[in-house]
Chains A and B, each alone.
Chain A
Amino acid sequence: AQSVTQLGSHVSVSEGALVLLRCNYSSSVPPYLFWYVQYPNQGLQLLLKYTTGATLVKGINGFEAEFKKSETSFHLTKPSAHMSDAAEYFCAVTNAGKSTFGDGTTLTVKP
């Protein structure tokens, strides 16, 4: 069994501020973890993924995430928010080709 919990359904930051979106997972096998972004009325786009190896993963648009096994976490960060980062973000865990998604976090960026 696997599950994902995203803490905070809404996060608001000022432009230029640090972005931190939280994700905790549960998995009975070593997890493969993903972050996706969704803009209004569109599908999801892959931001980054953790499979094996380096625990700090870099993705597109300046985002990165750190896999912490001891904390079962995979939080997404970006040092400086941009207005174009406003979107909904989903964390997912995948096993045997089947993904379980969190409920999503809506990021608002204030000018």
Chain B
Amino acid sequence: DGGITQSPKYLFRKEGQNVTLSCEQNLNHDAMYWYRQDPGQGLRLIYYSQIVNDFQKGDIAEGYSVSREKKESFPLTVTSAQKNPTAFYLCASSTGGRNQPQHFGDGTRLSIL
């Protein structure tokens, strides 16, 4: 079955550490997205990529970095510059068309030790 796989499901970070969240899709979608979800705040866009080797900052990109070297993969690094990283992170993909929905992974919950 086609879909989006996020790993790990739960992740713990020590102060001052960078951590990388994995997102892989086998839907042959061009566009991929990273969102942060906090209680009562909906989804906020961190970064998105509409094509391989290109990506754009979303609304809350500070303290995060991404790469898009392969169509299937869009890893997110939460750097030590992100002062409040505890959240639920969702990866999504779509064909990129304006009228197309996004398909979501099951998320990674990041917590600070």
Contacts and interface: CB of A to CB of B under 8 A. Distances in A.
A44 B41 contact: no
Contacts of B102: 44, 46, 99
B98 A101 contact: no
A103 interface: yes
Interface residues of B, number: 28
A32 B99 contact: yes
Interface residues of A, number: 24
30 contacts: A34-B101, A41-B107, A41-B109, A42-B107, A43-B90, A43-B104, A44-B90, A44-B92, A44-B104, A52-B99, A94-B99, A94-B101, A95-B98, A96-B98, A97-B31, A97-B50, A97-B94, A97-B96, A97-B97, A97-B98, A97-B100, A98-B45, A99-B33, A99-B102, A102-B42, A103-B40, A103-B41, A103-B42, A104-B40, A104-B42
Interface of B: 4, 6, 31, 33, 35, 40-43, 45, 48, 50, 90, 92, 94, 96-107, 109
